[in-house]
Structures are given as structure tokens and as C-alpha cells.
Amino acid sequence: MTHDFETAKEHFVDGVAAFEAGRFADAERDFLASLALVPARVSTLANLAATRIKLSRPEEALALLEQAIAVDPENVDAWCHRGEALADLGRHDEALACFDRVVRVAGHPALAWFHRASALAALQRPGEVLADLDRFLAARPDHADAWFRHGQALQSLDRHEQALASYAQALALDPELAPAWSSRGSILTDLRRTDEAAHAFERALACGGDPELNGYFLAAVTGGPAPAVAPPQYVQSLFDDYAGSFDEHLTKVLRYRAPAVLIDNLRALGNRRFRRALDLGCGTGQCGPLVKAIAELVDGVDLSAQMLGQARALGVYERLEQAEIAAYLRAADLRYDLVLAADVFIYVGDLEPVFAGVRRVLDPGGVFCFSAELAGSGGDFELKPTLRYGQSERYLRALAQRHGFSVERVLRQPIREDRQQPVAGLYVYLTAA
């Protein structure tokens, strides 16, 4: 038995060394060998669970941690790893409860504050995130990722100058931290400090940051060649985070008017009732009730699951799909006699695939109406420093002709406000031949 224990201990020590070196498959093998000799040892179970978390197998980690906690209900490492596994599974409320328990049992361990802050960030509670990160950073001021997350929390609270200071701390500790460069660039873009923003996005790219995302940001502030569409991960993340305050911010701050203007002028084309309508980029469903008044059935499509959840709660949509709009239009198995898009094409520059897709699903004589920001340049479309696309009227008319639409009406009216200034827009009404 003593020999088994000593051999198990050797495997355990080798596993810890492999884990610390990032050799997680080796660590797993060593911990399993140790457990085979001394089953149910809590420290080994906890370390094996931590390894499986690193190997992206959180469900398996949870099963091991249940065993560990059954043997030692107050084991801090087990509860901390349990919180990590639950967070990886998106069960952030449960993860937070685990870290709360760690704090109660162990007093004020720094790492628990860091993990607790991560759970709170996922639950969109930035004020509490800041408090926990302040506690963590008091003990670990050399932790670059914590300073980065500190900056994110401040940025979400619109405390931009303080956020820039936190990002500067992160980058002083780790000059290759690409997400901090990218986040710094986004604030500088909002502050219209475009030269500094461009430098930040260039550094993010040089440090291995997402080339699609940072290339898009860089094109917006430099006026360089614009990608055809905004990166889907940018749009989805933006609106998932924005969903809770979206409607209030649009109406009270931006004085958003696109849905009402679009539908009011659609009625002006004739007192028609539609069979089935498709709301492209439906968001929280601001168009839904307005369209439902003139259509028997209304479907919606959007990239953001959080936005779709709010639209579903309205009870006006027949079907809601999470998808990129051009992809949905290519694959849709339904036909429509009304397709509309209110303030959606600000995230799509090249509208060729959208027009082709709408023509595919639209009945002859059906209506396609939409709003668009007006491009300030002479080109077909442009990506503005606001990270929104604008299209020219000439381009939209050419697309309509190319895809078999008749132009019924084009109106020039503001879409919303930006910094209390009206944003010039187009409201376009087409019919399918």
C-alpha cells in the first residue's frame, strides 16, 4: 500500500508539472494513473478536473468535482474549479454561487475574486465586476488580463478615460495583448481620435488579433478598402450585449425613427394587406407590431439570440430564425409578398447577395422596402468611422434594376441622430417584376 501511495504521489507530481507546462494531455494521463492507485483522493480529482477544463471538457470535470466535494464539502480548489466548469458551460449564475462559497470558506482568496468578476461580467453586472477586480488587483497588480477586464468593465459603464488607463496598465504588463489593443482602439474611435485608433488596431493585428474584426475596425477609421459586410461575430456580440437597453437607447438617445417612417410610407403606396412578411434583422421586434397591422403573418431573422428572445416575447412573429440575413434568404423555404429591413444595412456594405436573396423569396408584385444610411462618398457603399455602412442612391437603383425590381419610391429622411445630429438616410420601396 505504501508503494502504491508513493507511486501515486510521483504520478501526481508529474501531472502538476505537465499541467503547469501546458501539456494537458500528459497531465490527464498522470492524474488518471495516480487515481488508479489511490482512488477518490480529493486533490487528484480536483487537478484532473482542472485539466479537463483546459481540454474543453467541462461536463467531465463537473462529474469529478462532484466526487471531490462529496468527500470534502469545504474543499476550496474543488469549488473554484466547479465554478470554472459551470462558467464554460454558460451556467454563470451557478458559477457565481461557487465563487461566493469559496469567498465564504477561504476568506478573501485573490483568484476567487478574479473568477467571480468573470462570472459577473457574463451576467452584465459591470459595477460589481469592478469591485471584485479592484480586490484582485490589490493583491495581484501585475496581472495583465485583470487590468484588461477592468478596462472592459469601465468601458461598459461609459467611463472611457478610466478604461483607457486600465488598458494602458494591461499593455504595459503585456504589450502583445491583442484584445487590449483592440478595445483601446474602439474607445479612441468613439472619441474620434482616429489616428490613435488606427495605431491601436494595427498593433492588435500585429499581435495576432482577429484579422477580420480588427481589419474591419481599421478600415472604418482609415477609409481604406471596406469589407463587404461587418464581421458576424462583431454584430452578434454587439447586439447580444445591447439587447437589454436597445429599445430605450434607440428611442430616447438616438431618436430612432426608421420603423415608423418605413411603415407609414409603405401604407402611402396603397391600402394593401399582405399575406406573409419577412422582417430582416428584426432585432427586438420594433417593426413587428407595425407590420402585423398590415400582414397576416410576420417572420423575423436576426443574428443575435438575445434580440430574438425579446422579439419572441412580443407574440407577433410567426417564425423567428437566428441567421445571417443573406444566408437565410439563400436557404429559405417560404415565399413572401413583403420583405422589409429597417436600419439593417448599416452592417452590410455590399447588398448584391441580399437583393438576389430577396428576389428569390419574393412573390411577383411583392414589395421590398428598407432604410439605408446615405453614403457621403461617390462610391457604391462606404464604411464610416461610426462602424456603419452607407450606400448611395445610384447604387441602390442599379441593384434594383439588375435584380428585376421596379423603383416605386425613394425618400430622403433622417434615420436617427448621432451626437444630436440627424443621420441622413434613404427609404426605398421596390416591387418585384
pLDDT digits (tens, 9 = 90+) for 142-162: 999 999 999 999 999 999 999
Q: Do the domain assignments include residue 331?
A: yes
Largest Cα–Cα distance of the chain, in whole Å?
A: 90
Specify if 305 maps to a domain: yes
Locate 353 and state its grid cell: 447577395
Judge if 22 and 113 occupy the same domain: yes
Tell me the per-residue pLDDT of 386-415, one tens digit each, with 9 for 90 and over.
899 999 999 999 999 999 999 999 999 988
Dihedral sign for Cα 354, 356, 361, 366, please: positive
Distance CA 111, CA 47 (A): 16
Same domain assignment for residues 196 and 218: yes
| Same domain, residue pair 160 and 184 | no
The amino acid at 282 = C
Other C-beta atoms lying within 10 Å of the C-beta of residue 230: 23
Q: Specify the pLDDT at position 110.
A: 81
Q: Is 205 found in the same domain as 325? A: no
Residue 22 lies in a domain: yes
- For residue 111, give the 3-state DSSP assignment: helix
Helix, strand, coil percent content, the chain, rounded in steps of 5 = 60, 15, 25
pLDDT band at 217 (very low <50, low <70, confident <90, very high): very high
User: In the listed set 189, 204, 225, which residue is the last one of a domain according to the structure?
Assistant: 225
- Read off the CATH number of the domain in which 158 is found: 1.25.40.10
- Range from 159-173, 230-244, 274-288 carrying the lowest mean pLDDT: 230-244
Domain boundary among 199, 225, 251: 225
Regarding whether 185 and 157 lie in a shared domain, the answer is no
Cα–Cα distance measured from residue 140 to residue 134, given in angstroms and rounded to the nearest whole number: 10
pLDDT class for 252, splitting at 50, 70, 90? very low
DSSP string spanning 147-163? HHHHHHHHHHTT-HHHH
| CA dist., res. 107 & res. 68, Å (int) | 21
Query: What is d(CA 395, CA 397) in angstroms, rounded to the nearest whole number?
Result: 5
The tally of CA atoms less than 13 A away on the side-chain side of residue 143 is 19
Residue 312 within any structural domain of the chain:
yes
In a domain, 232, yes or no: no
Predicted confidence at residue 316, as pLDDT, reads: 97
pLDDT digits (tens, 9 = 90+) for 11-63: 999 999 999 999 999 999 999 999 999 998 999 999 999 999 999 999 999 99
Same domain for 261 and 146, yes or no, is no
CATH label of the domain that carries residue 380: 3.40.50.150
Report yes or no on 30 lying in a domain: yes
Asked if residues 295 and 275 have their Cβ atoms less than 8 Å apart, the reply is yes
Residues spanned by the domain of 359: 238-432
| Residue-wise pLDDT tens digits, 339-393 | 999 999 999 999 999 999 999 999 999 999 999 999 987 789 999 988 999 999 9
Instruction: Report the number of distinct structural domains present in the chain.
Output: 3
C-alpha span between 112 and 45 (Å, rounded): 19
CA distance 233 to 223: 22
Cα–Cα dist 117/230, whole Å? 30
φ and ψ at 191, to 5 degrees?
Answer: -85, 5
The per-residue pLDDT for 250 is: 52
Neighbours of 94 (CB within 10 A): 15
Q: Quick one: 163 and 196 in the same domain?
A: no
Whether residues 273 and 347 share a domain: the answer is yes
For residue 138, being part of any structural domain is answered with: yes
- In this predicted model, what pLDDT tens digit does every residue of 304-334 receive, in sequence order? 998 999 999 999 999 999 999 999 999 999 9
Residues 204 and 277 reside in one and the same domain: no
> What gap in Å lies between CA 433 and CA 430, rounded to an integer?
9
Cα–Cα distance measured from residue 100 to residue 261, given in angstroms and rounded to the nearest whole number: 49
Same domain, 391 and 322: yes
- Mean of the per-residue pLDDT values for the chain? 92
| Residue 202: inside a domain | yes
Q: How far is CA 209 from CA 195, 212, 214, 385, in A?
A: 19, 9, 7, 20
Asked if residue 256 has pLDDT above 70, the reply is no
Rounded Cα–Cα distance for residues 317 and 342 (Å): 16
All three cell numbers of 378, joined, read: 461617390
What's the rounded Cα separation, in Å, for the pair 362 and 430? 11
Indicate the residue among 169, 186, 213 that finishes a domain: 169
- The answer to whether residues 37 and 115 belong to one domain is yes
Residues 29 and 64 in one domain: yes
Measured CA to CA in angstroms, residue 250 lies from 83, 256, 380, 383 at distances of 36, 5, 27, 21
- Say if residues 111 and 140 touch (Cβ distance below 8 Å): no
